[in-house]
Amino acid sequence: MALLPILQYPDPRLQRVAKPVLDVNAEIRKLIANMAQTMYAAPGVGLAASQVDVHKRVIVVDVSETHDNLLALINPVIVEQSGTADYEEGCLSVPGIFDTVTRSERIIVRALNAEGKPFETAAEGMLAVCIQHEMDHLEGRVFVEYLSPLKQQRIRAKLKKQQRRIM
């Protein structure tokens, strides 16, 4: 397994729309394993393939405290959604920035698992938020795009400053 470098906002590669996976094969299973390892190491509760510069429709999430409830979703589609909920979000591609986003409270998502088998799962609370956040990445959308233009400008300036300090 390998730790994968995570793209940092506002890298333009984060805006790419990911392509559907046509064949769930060993390469996809290796990608899932590497993404899971990268997410746990970060640490984070989700990761989209787009964030590691692989533009395929694959996400991993695990909102458990014990890191033993990994959910890998290939070609995920939300088939039902209800309610709205505000949640303070973070993103491994936007380090140190947290802000509130409104999303659907409950969702039912359909996807393929790592064996290529279709399944549906219902999610609410943090799991629902996290799945929606990761699915946004597959559309080339980062959570800060839900914030006001002024906040986005401030975030860009703050990240630029942080990145200058690292270099």
Interacting residue ranges for ligand K1U, rule: CB under 6 A: 43-47, 51, 89-93, 129-130, 133-134
Q: Which one, 75 or 136, has the nearer CB to Zn ion?
A: 136
129, interface contact from Zn ion, ligand K1U, none, CB < 5-8 Å by kind: ligand K1U
Whether 93 contacts 51, CB under 8 Å: yes
Q: Please, which residues have CB within 8 angstroms of residue 158's CB and are 6 or more apart in sequence?
A: 96, 97
136, interface contact from Zn ion, ligand K1U, none, CB < 5-8 Å by kind: none
Give least dist CB 94 to ligand K1U, A: 8
Cα 100 off chain centre by:
16
Q: List residues binding Zn ion (CB under 5 A).
A: 91
Give least dist CB 23 to ligand K1U, A: 25
Angle at 116 between CA 37 and CA 2, to 5 degrees: 20
Is 134 assigned a catalytic role? Answer: yes
Tokens coding 129: 């938020």
Give least dist CB 1 to ligand K1U, A: 19
Rounded Cα distance, 136 and 143, in Å: 8
Give least dist CB 21 to ligand K1U, A: 19
Tokens coding 150: 């002024």
Exactly one of 88, 124, 134, 145 is catalytic; name it: 134
Residue type present at position 6: I
**Which residue in this structure is represented by tokens 């405290």?**
65
CB atoms within 10 A of CB 122: 11
73, interface contact from ligand K1U, Zn ion, none, CB < 5-8 Å by kind: none
Q: Which one, 28 or 47, has the nearer CB to ligand K1U?
A: 47
Catalytic residue set = 134
